[in-house]
Amino acid sequence: MLDERKASILRAVVEEYIDTAQPVGSGHVARDPSVAVSPATVRNEMAVLEAEGYLVQPHTSAGRVPTEKGYRFFVDNIAQPGPLGSAETQQVRQFFARAHGELESMLADTSRLLSNITHHAAVVVGPPHEIATVRSIQLVALTPRVVMEVAVLSNGAIHKHTLELDEDVDEVVLDRASAHLQEHLRGSPLAGLSVVPPSGDAAVDRLVDTARAALGVHENEPDSVFVGGTSQMAGSFDAVDTIRQVLTILEQQIVVVSLLRDVLDRGLSVAIGSETGVEPLAECSLVVAPYQVDGEGVGTIGVLGPTRMNYPQALAAVAVVSQRLGHRLSEG
């Protein structure tokens, strides 16, 4: 642990470096009201912080910049999620006030919202299909032999299937099949749909079997991943190769899902540099939070940016958006 003076000096260095991306000198730190010691004392303390691995001096005549250890101390002991600015708060409020429609579209739009607020790349992982249960099923005739099946799931997803039939179906059969499906599949998990018993009407049962089989094809689908703001990465790093490697990672959905889950499983809300466990992200930090539907954690959102990100603002944005997204999906 650092004493209060070293902690205040480290905070001043981290905040200034986040703001300017330039090495921070002792003279600037000494002018920080929370430090209140002479430049000579600051120089001595910065030398100690460097020796202990919290700061590094990129060049002999330059100021210091935070190390991964310095950022970790800042996040764990100093940084607190600050309130979002009034403009960002209004943006979030307006977005979720008009957020309707299919789950995939909402999650994609949410990733763009989070990126716009933080100016970093944003990731939203959709709820896994295997935990979803059926809320409602409706069959709608498009033509005498083509029926649209619309299933609303507990995770907010809406599945639509076009059923092509071998025989004409009338409205009476369609209504009876819809009611039969609703009676026996409502509340059933998508992974392992309940058996639907015969209705006693052969035409109804054929339609029911076709609709149930179509719904079951989603059972083993991979988690959906939505990435917004990849263009933000271009301005975050000096090296083109770093940008290329980060963008490659973001294109690999399985890697992204595993990364976010691993960070949360380790009890972290922020993974810094090598803590991500992914070598190409050694210069990045990831801020993550789960979101809940009806009190159950079903998905994850995150912000990926350089280690020099504004942690208080990123933590606040991720917390607010995850909470509002969960509320919106719980409402159905």
Query: Given pLDDT bands bounded at 50, 70 and 90, which one contains residue 221?
Result: low
Query: Given pLDDT bands bounded at 50, 70 and 90, which one contains residue 332?
Result: low
167-176, 203-212, 239-248, 256-265: lowest mean pLDDT where? 239-248
> Residue 160: what pLDDT?
84
Give the domain CATH number at 52: 1.10.10.10
> Residue 184: what pLDDT?
92
Co-location of 69 and 178 in the same domain:
no
Co-location of 227 and 94 in the same domain:
yes
Q: Which amino acid is at 17?
A: Y
CA distance 221 to 132: 12
> Residue 251: what pLDDT?
85
Co-location of 117 and 237 in the same domain:
yes
CA distance 243 to 230: 10
Q: Which amino acid is at 65?
A: V
Co-location of 188 and 105 in the same domain:
no
Tokens of 265: 């499983």
Give the domain CATH number at 293: 3.30.450.40
Domain that holds residue 202: 130-216
Final residue before a domain boundary, out of 168, 201, 216: 216
> Residue 83: what pLDDT?
80
Count of domains for the chain: 3
Query: Given pLDDT bands bounded at 50, 70 and 90, which one contains residue 273?
Result: very high
Which of 92-106, 111-125, 156-170 is modeled with the greatest confidence? 111-125
51 contact partners, CB below 8 Å, separation of at least 6: none
Co-location of 96 and 238 in the same domain:
yes
Co-location of 145 and 262 in the same domain:
no
pLDDT at 197 over 90: yes
What average pLDDT score do residues 19-46 get? Answer: 92
CA distance 45 to 315: 29
Co-location of 231 and 326 in the same domain:
yes
Q: Which amino acid is at 69?
A: K
> Residue 295: what pLDDT?
77
Co-location of 229 and 160 in the same domain:
no
Final residue before a domain boundary, out of 216, 242, 259: 216
> Residue 91: what pLDDT?
92
pLDDT above 70 coverage of the chain, percent: 95
pLDDT digits (tens, 9 = 90+) for 52-109: 999 999 887 779 999 999 999 999 987 777 788 889 999 999 999 887 767 788 899 9
CA distance 46 to 10: 8
CA distance 266 to 269: 9
Final residue before a domain boundary, out of 159, 187, 216: 216
Query: Given pLDDT bands bounded at 50, 70 and 90, which one contains residue 218?
Result: low
> Residue 219: what pLDDT?
54
CA distance 66 to 86: 30
HEC secondary structure over the chain? CCCHHHHHHHHHHHHHHHHHCCCECHHHHHCCCCCCCCHHHHHHHHHHHHHCCCEECCCCCCCEEECHHHHHHHHHHHCCCCCCCHHHHHHHHHHHHHCCCCHHHHHHHHHHHHHHHHCCEEEEECCCHHHCEEEEEEEEEEECCEEEEEEEECCCCEEEEEEECCCCCCHHHHHHHHHHHHHHHCCCECCCCCCCCCCCCHHHHHHHHHHHHHHHCCCCCCCCEEEECHHHHHHCCCCHHHHHHHHHHHHCHHHHHHHHHHHHHCCCCEEEHHHHCCHHHCCEEEEEEEEEECCEEEEEEEEEEECCCCHHHHHHHHHHHHHHHHHHHHHC
CA distance 300 to 297: 8
Residue 120 forms beta bridges with which residues?
none
> Residue 154: what pLDDT?
76
Rg of the chain on CA atoms, in Å: 26
Query: Given pLDDT bands bounded at 50, 70 and 90, which one contains residue 25?
Result: very high
Residue 163 forms beta bridges with which residues?
147
> Residue 156: what pLDDT?
67
Co-location of 63 and 123 in the same domain:
no
pLDDT at 314 over 80: yes
pLDDT at 112 over 70: yes
Average pLDDT, the chain: 88
pLDDT digits (tens, 9 = 90+) for 290-301: 998 777 777 899
Could you tell me which of 101, 42, 14 has the C-alpha nearest to residue 310?
Answer: 14
Burial of 307 (0-12, 13-18, 19+ CB in 10 A): buried
C-alpha distances (whole Å) from 291 to each of 49, 232, 299, 329 are 37, 24, 6, 10
Co-location of 92 and 240 in the same domain:
yes
Co-location of 121 and 227 in the same domain:
yes
Give the domain CATH number at 167: 3.30.390.60
Co-location of 109 and 239 in the same domain:
yes
